[in-house]
Amino acid sequence: MQQLDAGSVQVLTSLKSSTAQTIGEPKIVARDVSVYYGEKQALFDVDVNVPRNSVMAFIGPSGCGKSTFLRCINRMNDTIPIARVEGKIAIDGQDIDDPELDVVELRARVGMVFQKPNPFPKSIYENVAYGPRIHGLARNKADLDRIVETSLQRAGLLKEVKDRLQEPGTGLSGGQQQRLCIARAIATSPDIILMDEPCSALDPIATARVEELIDELRQTLTIIIVTHSMQQAARVSQRTAFFHLGVLVEEDETSTIFTNPSDQRTQDYITGRFG
Amino acid sequence: MTDTTLGSTGSGHDWSSPASRRRVKRRYAADRRLQFYGIAAIGTAMALLGVLFVSLIQAGYAAFTTTKVELSIFLDPAAISQEKPGEANYRRIVRDAFKAYFPDVTGRSDERSLYKIMSSGSDYIVRDYVVGNPGKIGENVKILVPVSDPFDQLYKRIIPRRIDALSSDRIALFDALKQQGVLSVEDGAGVAKVSVFIDPAKVPSEGGVAAADYDAMIKDGLRSYFRNEYSRSYEEIISATAAEKLQSVVAADPSVVGKIVEVKLPLAANYDNLLQTGQATIRNPRFGSDVEFAWFDSLEKRGLIATPFTWELFFNADSRFPELAGLAGALSGSLLALLICFVLSFPIGIATAVYLEEFAPKNRTTDLIEVNINNLAAVPSVVFGLLGLALFLNTFGMPRSAPLVGGMVLALMTLPTIIVATRAALKAVPPSIREAALGVGASRHQVALHHVLPLAMPGILTGTIIGLAQALGETAPLLLIGMNAFIPSVENIGLTEPAMALPTQIFSWADSPERGFVSRTSAAILVLLGFLVMMNLLAVYLRRKLERKW
């Protein structure tokens, strides 16, 4: 790993200690997942286990299939008419394609945060309250208020917005909007959150806030984050999966991926030979 | 400056070469040309629009005032009963009141001409006034009643008292004759000194000179003054009494038969005027006699003529008399039809668009439906009218001329517009909003109803209002289902009652021969345009107000 710059190595070594803990049964198990967009195959037989209450980062060059795989986990690919998913994904041992399982319920349990902050053009309160309301998670108004407050609290946004809950969510800054989206995702009390490059549209300070937040949420949630920034993957994740041309090349502890990858392609990517 | 700093670069292309500079110049020239075309196009459109408005306002402003005459009427309790104030002989009352202004006028035919100055609807105006104010019975009241259309137009200087009697080509013939020096004035009458051959062939053996065809001889004589003229309209120049004059000449001296005589023949009245005064005019045929002008002038001199704003234009129903005709029936008919149109097309259009855009699978069937909807938006409106006629009136037996059917036909026409506009508005909602909603577990209908539809609403409303504005101005389909009924009263307004619409009212007024309907037509068009402008402003306002940023 002589190619890595000194700063990254320092970050990696400091992370090593925290990632060592082993976790019991994996939260998400994927077997032979392939995705086709029409005739074109975008993802080839992905096998991966995502451990409980940890952060897993998906890295890889653009168009490598990492977002595609992420969107399989809450079946967002269903909304694309030409997409076809094969293989099995199970959450807590339950197949997500099980006809017994309602896709709407699945999406409430598997929250998602998108690349560009996309709050609804409604008030801050309504943004967070929408999910709990449509799923009937609150018995009354006070209950809903409590859920909104807790979610904003957990997203680290409450202090900044508590006086202007009725103002439009779109009036917040980019970083605040993204944390509002995270608050919206955790308001339906999911146990998994999928993040699709959540910091790519944010400035470094806002990025740092979101990364802190991810680290806190990891205590109770399983998080998968797609990122283009290898530093970010190194900073926030315990395990990292490297995708290339629709193939999951390698998946291991983050420190191992960044210091001693077993595949030449991973090595080439993290040292900046391509991508 | 550019050529010194840039100059030739190392890449092999000489940016300062004449060819390069020419290309740059051409490019700028093309830019300017394109701009010029655009500005010229906009300028032309604005100019044409200006011409349209100027001509409409010029023709229509007169209809916004009505010339009225003030009647002072004694509401005689002996003639008008308190119990049934509507049943008195108001025609008599009104005529007597008017007659009181002209004590000198006697004789039936003069009186009849006198009453022609007032509108025929005056009786009803006075009756309605008395029915509305029964407490005034027994008092002297002053009521303004409209004057009849010719006097209204006369007072507004739209039609003249006298018009030219002779067309320009007749005057040219006259001038040609004048130049030959044959015309002169003798004893206050214009005469033409014409050479006439007293043709023996036209003098019958039986009856002799008394029964000769002098008329033909005069015409033959005139012929020689107009060698290149084929129309023979010059024959009018000589009075019809010329034949008698010639006869008297020949009778005085029978020896002229077979010879050419020079006779001074009298000119026809109009040509006589033309010769003596330089112009030939006759009384405008819309007026019965010159004394009518004198009566009207005396009313004006006494300050009894006023021109108040024509509220009747908005509150009266249609009438055969332009000074009484109003748009109340047309406005209510259009309003009801638009209401039906909106109630039908708005929900159906939105439901269709939302289904096609958000739920329908993309396959051959939906493609076909989509193509058909887009094409329907381009179908001529008269076809929808025919459909309405065949389906709603003939098959379903719905009432003819009714706003209900009009609204249904207009809804058919508006639907494609609304569907296309709604689909465009739905497409414009960013996909991130759909993803966000799906991401928190909203079902498809929740995504559509809670998020996409509200965001698309400004666009949908704009499209709807534009569609309705189009429907408001549509004439052909309404004509086909008979929504051009003559509705002289606003008492029976209802969805299934026969009705009129604004555009069909304009159509029917434009067809009417009375001069007053010309300005009424333009005024009605201005009212229609006013409504269209208001609807478009509403669309702009709603879009501004509802538009949200994301």
Contact assignment for A187 to B450 by CB distance below 8 Å: no
Q: If you write DSSP's letter for every residue of B9-26 in order, what string do you get?
A: -TTS-BTTSHHHHHHHHH
Cα(A35)–Cα(A82) distance, rounded to whole angstroms? 10
| Distance to chain B for A35, nearest Cα, Å | 19
- A116, A168, A185 ranked by CB distance to B440: nearest: A185
Task: Indicate whether A275 belongs to any domain.
Answer: no
Q: Chain A: nearest CA to B382, how far in angstroms?
A: 40
Which residue among A76, A109, A114 sits closest to B432, beta carbon to beta carbon? Answer: A114
Whether B436 sits inside 8 A of A118 (CB atoms) is: yes
Residue for token pair 């478009």: B536
In A, what residues contact B, Cβ < 8 A?
A: 74, 76, 79, 81, 104-109, 111-114, 116, 118-121, 130-131, 134-135, 168, 170, 181, 184-185, 187-188
Q: Interhelix angle for B403-428 vs B381-388, to 10°? A: 130
Best residue in B358, B434, B440, B450 to probe A by mutation, most A CBs within 10 Å? B440
Q: Over the Cα atoms of chain A, what is R_g?
A: 19
Rounded Cα–Cα distance for residues B192 and B272 (Å): 10
Query: Which residues 454-473 of B are in CB contact (within 8 Å) with A?
Result: 455
**Angle, alpha carbons B400-B406-B407 (nearest 5°):** 140
For chain B, give every domain's residue range.
16-61, 68-159+301-308, 168-283, 328-546
Q: What is the mean pLDDT of chain A?
A: 87
What residues of chain B lie within 8 A of the CB of A168, using their CB? 548
Contact: B440, A130; criterion CB under 8 Å: yes
Q: d(Cα B269, Cα B237) in Å, to the nearest integer?
A: 9
**What pLDDT was estimated at residue B300?**
92
- HEC letters along B61-105: HHHHECCEEEEEEECCCCCCCCCCHHHCCHHHHHHHHHHCCCCCC
Q: What is the ipTM of this complex?
A: 0.84
CB burial of B50-62 (b: ≥16 within 10 Å; e: otherwise) equals eeeeeebeebbeb
Q: What is the distance between the alpha carbons of residues A147 and A138, in angstroms, rounded to a whole number? A: 8
**Residue B245: C-alpha distances to residues A248, B223, B248 (Å):** 124, 19, 5
Does residue A1 belong to any structural domain of this protein? Answer: no
Q: What angle do CA B405, B410, B416 make, to 5 degrees?
A: 140
Residue B338: name the closest of B540, B539, B488, B503 by CA: B503
User: With 50 as the cut, is the pLDDT of residue A186 above it?
Assistant: yes
Residues 6+ apart with CB under 8 A from B98: B69, B71, B114, B115, B117, B118
> Which pLDDT score is estimated for A21?
41
List the Cα angle B31/B33/B39 in 5-degree steps. 105
Q: What residues pair up with B281 in beta bridges, in sequence order?
A: B164
Compute CA distances A183 → A140, B9, B303, B351, B379, whole Å.
20, 56, 81, 33, 51
Model pLDDT, residue B549: 54
Encoding tokens for residue A48? 């991966």
Residue closest to B457 by CA, chosen among B426, B427, B430: B426
Asked whether residue A88 carries a pLDDT value surpassing 70, the answer given is yes
User: Can you give B119-137 as a three-state secondary structure string?
Assistant: CCCHHHHHHHHHHHCHHHC
Interface contact B363, partner A, CB < 8 A: no
CB A80 within 8 A of CB B402: no
Residues 6+ apart with CB under 8 A from A152: A124, A128, A158, A161, A162, A180, A183
Q: In this structure, what are the phi and psi dihedrals at residue A81, rounded to the nearest 5 degrees?
A: -60, -35
Question: What CA dihedral angle connects B459, B460, B462 and B463, to 10 degrees?
Answer: 110
Cα atoms in the Cβ-side hemisphere of radius 13 Å centred on A32: 3
Alpha helices for B392-501 (secondary structure H):
403-428, 431-439, 444-446, 453-472, 476-480
Alpha helix stretches (DSSP H) within B262-402: 269-277, 290-301, 312-315, 328-354, 364-376, 381-388
| Chain B closest-CA separation from residue A8 CA (Å) | 34
Phi-psi region at A217: left, alpha or beta (left = phi > 0; alpha = psi -120 to 50): alpha
Residues in chain B: 550
Residue B157: other Cβ atoms inside 10 A = 8
Write out residues 74-93 of B within 8 Å (CB-CB) of A. Answer: none
What was the pLDDT predicted at B86?
84
pLDDT at position A210 over 60: yes
Q: Strands A110-113 and A192-196: what pairing?
A: parallel
Per-residue pLDDT tens listing for chain B (550 residues): 444 455 555 667 788 888 889 999 999 999 999 999 999 999 999 999 999 999 999 989 889 999 999 999 998 888 888 888 888 889 999 999 999 999 988 888 889 889 999 998 899 999 989 998 888 888 899 999 999 999 999 999 888 998 888 888 888 888 888 888 888 888 888 888 888 888 888 888 777 777 888 888 888 888 888 888 788 888 888 888 888 888 888 888 888 888 888 888 898 888 888 888 888 888 888 888 888 999 999 999 999 999 999 898 999 999 999 989 999 999 999 999 999 999 999 999 999 999 999 888 888 999 999 999 999 988 999 999 999 999 999 999 999 999 999 999 999 999 999 999 999 999 999 999 999 999 998 988 999 999 999 999 999 999 999 999 999 999 999 999 999 889 888 888 889 999 999 999 999 999 998 888 999 999 999 999 999 999 999 988 988 888 765 4
Count other C-beta atoms under 10 Å from residue B126's C-beta: 23
Cross-chain Cβ contact B435/A106 below 8 Å: no
* Backbone dihedral angles phi then psi of residue A195, each to the nearest 5 degrees: -120, 120
Q: Give me A230's structure tokens.
A: 């290898």
Q: What is d(CA B143, CA A14) in angstroms, rounded to the nearest whole number?
A: 102
Contacts of A256 (CB under 8 A, 6+ apart): none
Q: Return d(Cα B348, Cα B411) in angstroms, integer.
A: 10
Predicted pLDDT of residue B6: 52
Dihedral, CA atoms, B114, B116, B120, B121, nearest 10 degrees?
-60
Please state the φ and ψ torsions of residue A239, each to the nearest 5 degrees: -125, 155
* Closest residue to A120, CB basis, from B438, B441, B451: B451
Length of chain A: 275
Which fold would CATH assign to domain B328-546? MetI-like fold (1.10.3720)
Q: Do A187 and B440 touch (CB under 8 A)?
A: yes
Chain A positions in Cβ-Cβ contact with residue B436 (cut-off 8 Å): 114, 118-120, 181, 184
Domain of residue A95: give its range: 6-270
What are the Cα distances from residue B424, in Å, to A170, A184, B364, B428?
Answer: 23, 29, 20, 6
DSSP B236: G
What does the angle CA B530 – CA B531 – CA B535 come to, to the nearest 5 degrees?
A: 120
Residue B254: alpha-carbon gap to chain centroid: 63
Is residue A115 in some structural domain?
A: yes
pLDDT score at B154: 92
Chain A positions in Cβ-Cβ contact with residue B439 (cut-off 8 Å): 74, 76, 107, 111-114, 185
Task: Supply the DSSP symbol for B51.
Answer: H
Nearest C-alpha neighbor of A196 from the set A86, A74, A42: A74
Closest by CA position to A122, among listed A133, A111, A112: A133
Q: Are B436 and A114 inside 8 Å of each other by CB?
A: yes
- Report the pLDDT value the prediction gives residue B362, as an integer from 0 to 100: 84
> Cα-flanking dihedrals φ and ψ of residue B292, to 5°?
-60, -40
**CA dist B340 → B345, B417, B458, B524 (Å):** 8, 16, 22, 23
Output the pLDDT for position B9: 54
The Cα-based distances of A40 to A34, A203, A241, B388, B470 in angstroms read 11, 35, 23, 50, 47
User: Which residues in chain A are contacts of B438 at CB distance < 8 A?
Assistant: 76, 79, 107
Instruction: Please answer whether residues B456 and B421 qualify as being in contact, where contact means their C-beta atoms are separated by less than 8 angstroms.
Output: no
CB distance from B451 to chain A under 8 Å? Answer: yes
Cβ(B174)–Cβ(B166) below 8 Å: yes
Residue B1: the pLDDT is 44
Radius of gyration of chain B (CA): 37
What is the per-residue pLDDT for A22?
A: 44
Cα dihedral: B29, B32, B37, B40 (round 10): -130
Assess B431–A contact: CB distance below 8 Å, yes or no.
no
State the Cα–Cα distance between residues B88 and B76, nearest whole angstrom: 10
Contacts of A118 in chain B (CB under 8 A): 430, 432-433, 435-436, 550
> pLDDT-derived band of residue A24, with 50, 70 and 90 as boundaries?
low
Which CATH number belongs to the domain containing residue A146 in this structure? 3.40.50.300
Q: What is the pLDDT of residue B361?
A: 86
Alpha-carbon span A241 to A225, nearest angstrom:
10
Cβ-contact B196, B182 below 8 angstroms: no
Tell me the two tokens of residue B251. Answer: 């009778």
> Could you tell me which residues are beta bridge partners of residue A86?
A34
Q: Judge: B441–A118 Cβ closer than 8 Å, yes or no.
A: no
Q: Which residue has the tokens 């049943």?
A: B87
